[in-house]
Amino acid sequence: MKIQDVPFCLMDWSQVAPSEHPGEAGKALWRTLEIGNLRVRMVEYTPGYLADHWCSRGHVLLVLEGELVTELQDGRTFTLKPGVSYQVADGAEPHRSHTTTGAKLFIVD
């Protein structure tokens, strides 16, 4: 990732209105900053959330709260708890997430 056209800035995530994104089950609430070629998000998944698509976009994802299960299209699954992250490149391995308990994430892509 090469970050371009992004000046130094602070973000108070509590001041960013969330947008709602329904999943196959549950919903995701995104607080998003898009600047230059960078998208940074604070995301909350409701308990029982299941993504409604396979994602091929690259991310750096860090779990802040809760527990997240990320499934790769090849069938592998990974359980992430607070303090655990994953990194994946654009187009590398399609993935989707779900959570029984709910989760709060910090995502850069």
CATH code, 92: 2.60.120.10
Range 78-82 average pLDDT: 98
Q: What is the pLDDT of residue 3?
A: 86
At 2, the pLDDT band (50, 70, 90 cuts) reads confident
| pLDDT more than 70, % of the chain | 100
Residue 55 has pLDDT above 80, yes or no: yes
Q: Is residue 80 part of a domain?
A: yes
46: domain range?
Answer: 21-108
At 108, the pLDDT band (50, 70, 90 cuts) reads very high
Q: Is residue 90 part of a domain?
A: yes
Range 76-101 average pLDDT: 96
Reported pTM: 0.92
Nearest CA to 41 among 94, 75, 55?
Answer: 55
Residue 107's alpha-carbon distances to 4, 5, 9, 13, 74, in angstroms, are 17, 19, 17, 13, 23
What sign does the CA torsion over 11, 44, 82, 97 have? negative
Q: What is the pLDDT of residue 25?
A: 98
Q: Is residue 2 part of a domain?
A: no
> How many structural domains compose the chain?
1
Tokens of 44: 């909350």
